[in-house]
Amino acid sequence: MSISLRRIIAITRKNLQALSHDKRTVGLLIIMPILMMVLFGYAFGQSVRHVPIKIANFDEGGEGIPYMGINDTKFSEIFIKYLEEDDRVDVKLLNLNIFNLSDEISQVYGGNDYYALIVIPINFTEDMLNFSNHIQISTYIDGSDPQTISSVIGAISEAIGTVINEISGEESHLELNLVYIAGDPNLRPIDSLGPGILSFALLLFMILTVTGGFTKERLTGTLYRVKVTSTSKSEMMIGYLLGNSLIALVQSALLLAISVLFFQINIVGNILLLFFILFIYAMSCVGLGIFASTFAKNELQAFQFIPLLLLPSMFFSGFLFPINSFPIIFQYVSYFIPMTYSIRISRAIMINGFGLDMFFMDFLIMNLLTLAFLVLAVAVFKMKK
C-alpha cells in the first residue's frame, strides 16, 4: 500500500481549515482549560485516603520503666497503633535487619511504592519519659502531590499529638522533621493538578474533535467520497493524527501559558521535552477517538461514548487521586491508561525538573501504549458502510 504525502497533508490541512471556520470549537479549546484549572485547582481539596507509608521503628523502649502498669513500654507502638487506625494512611512496618536508608528513600520517590518513610529514633520512649525537648521523628516524604502530603502530615501530626496527650497530658514537645525527597513543601494543589489538567484537557479535546470529526465524515458521506479517490485508511488516519497533534501542541502551549500567567505554576524542567511528550500522548488520544468513532452510528451515539472513554482516565490515571489509593484491580487498570504515564512524566518535568533518563521506563511504556492504540484503531476502522 502506497502512502502519499500529498494526500496526508491535504487531510491535515482540511482539518485545520475546518477548525478555523468553526468558532465555537475554537472557543471551547480556549475556555475549557481555563475553566478546568479553576474548578479543579480551587475546588478540589479533600484529603486523600489510604496513602501507603513505611515506618522504620528503632525505638528500644524504656529499659524496664513501667508505665501505667506495663513494663517495657514502647511509646512508638502507641504512635504506630494510632497511625494504623487512621484511614488516611496504610502503614507498613519495615524489617530493621535488612533496612537500608538510602534504598528505602529511593522507593519513596514518585509514589511508585510509598509516599513517605518515617524513622523513629532509638531513644524515642526514653526521651518521652524524660520530657526531653528535642525528640525528632524524621519523615522522608515525596512532596510532588500536595494533597497526598497533607493527608500524610495530618495523620502523623495527629498521632504524635495523641501519644503525647496520653502520656503527659501536656503540649507537644516533639518535632516532626520533614525531609522532602521530591517536590517542595510550598506546592499548592494546583501545582500538581496542573500537569494532570494538561493531559486531561488534551484527552477531552482530542476525543471530542476526532470522534466528532469521523462520525461527521460518516454521516455526511465525505468518508466514502474520500475512499473513492483511492485514499487509503492509513493516509486518512495519518492526516488526522498530524492535524490533531498539531492542535494538541497549540492547546498545550495555551494551557501552559495560562498556568504560568494566571496560576503562577512553576515549570522547572525542559519545556521542549514536555511538548514532545504531550505530542506523543495526544496521538494515543487520537487513536482512542478513532476507535470510539468506529462504533458510533451517529453523533449522539458518538457523544455517549465519550464519558466512557474519559472516566477511566479521569479516575485511574492518578490525575485526581493517587494510584496507590485504589483497590489493586484498578491499579492494574491504570497501567494501561496512557494518561497515567503522561501525568507522571509531565509532573516529573514540571515540578521536579527531571530529564528523560529519570522516567525512561514510563516514556517507553507510553510509546508502546500509543502504538498499540493506533494499531487497534487501524484494525477496527473501516471506510465502508
Partner 1 sequence: MINISCLSKSFGRFKAVENLDINIQKGEIYGLIGPNGSGKTTTILVLLDILDPDPGAKITIDGNKIPERINEVYHKIGFMPQELSLYLDLTVEQNLKFFGNLYKIPKPIIYSRIQEVLELIDLTEYKKRLISKCSGGMQRRCSLAVALLHNPEILILDEPTVGVDPELRIEFWNYFKEISKEKGVTILITTHYLAESINCDQIGLMNKKILISGTPLELMENVRRLKNLERLPDMEEVFIHYTHQEKMERELGGSGK
Binding residues (CB under 8 A) for partner 1: these are 4, 6-7, 9-11, 13-14, 17-19, 21-22, 220-222, 224-231, 383-385
Contacts 24+ apart (CB under 8 A), 173-178: 173/131, 173/132, 173/133, 173/135, 174/128, 174/135, 174/136, 174/137, 175/134, 175/135, 175/136, 175/137, 176/137, 176/139, 177/136, 177/137, 177/138, 177/139, 178/139, 178/141, 178/153
Q: What is the CA radius of gyration of the chain?
A: 26
Question: In the bound complex, what is the minimum distance in angstroms from residue 244's beta carbon to partner 1?
Answer: 15
Question: In the bound complex, what is the minimum distance in angstroms from residue 25's beta carbon to partner 1?
Answer: 9
Question: In the bound complex, what is the minimum distance in angstroms from residue 226's beta carbon to partner 1?
Answer: 6
> Of 172 and 232, which has the nearer Cβ to partner 1?
232
> Of 239 and 322, which has the nearer Cβ to partner 1?
239
Question: In the bound complex, what is the minimum distance in angstroms from residue 209's beta carbon to partner 1?
Answer: 12
Cell triple for residue 346?
Answer: 509531565
Residue length of the chain: 385
Distances (CA, A) of 20 to 17, 34, 188: 5, 20, 36
> Of 311 and 379, which has the nearer Cβ to partner 1?
379
> Of 221 and 355, which has the nearer Cβ to partner 1?
221
Question: In the bound complex, what is the minimum distance in angstroms from residue 247's beta carbon to partner 1?
Answer: 14
Q: What single-letter amino acid sits at 25?
A: T
> Of 24 and 134, which has the nearer Cβ to partner 1?
24
Cell triple for residue 342?
Answer: 503522561
Residue 255, phi then psi, degrees to nearest 5: -60, -45
Question: In the bound complex, what is the minimum distance in angstroms from residue 316's beta carbon to partner 1?
Answer: 35
Question: In the bound complex, what is the minimum distance in angstroms from residue 381's beta carbon to partner 1?
Answer: 15
Cα(168)–Cα(131) distance, integer angstroms: 9
Classify 230 as helix, strand or coil.
Answer: coil
> Of 4 and 264, which has the nearer Cβ to partner 1?
4
Cα(164)–Cα(131) distance, integer angstroms: 10
Q: Which of 261, 202, 219 is nearest to 32 (CA)?
A: 202
> Of 231 and 245, which has the nearer Cβ to partner 1?
231
> 3-state SS of 47-91?
CCCCEEEEEEECCCCCCCCCECCECCCCHHHHHHHHHHHCCCEEE
Cell triple for residue 153?
Answer: 502530615
Question: In the bound complex, what is the minimum distance in angstroms from residue 272's beta carbon to partner 1?
Answer: 32
> Of 20 and 165, which has the nearer Cβ to partner 1?
20
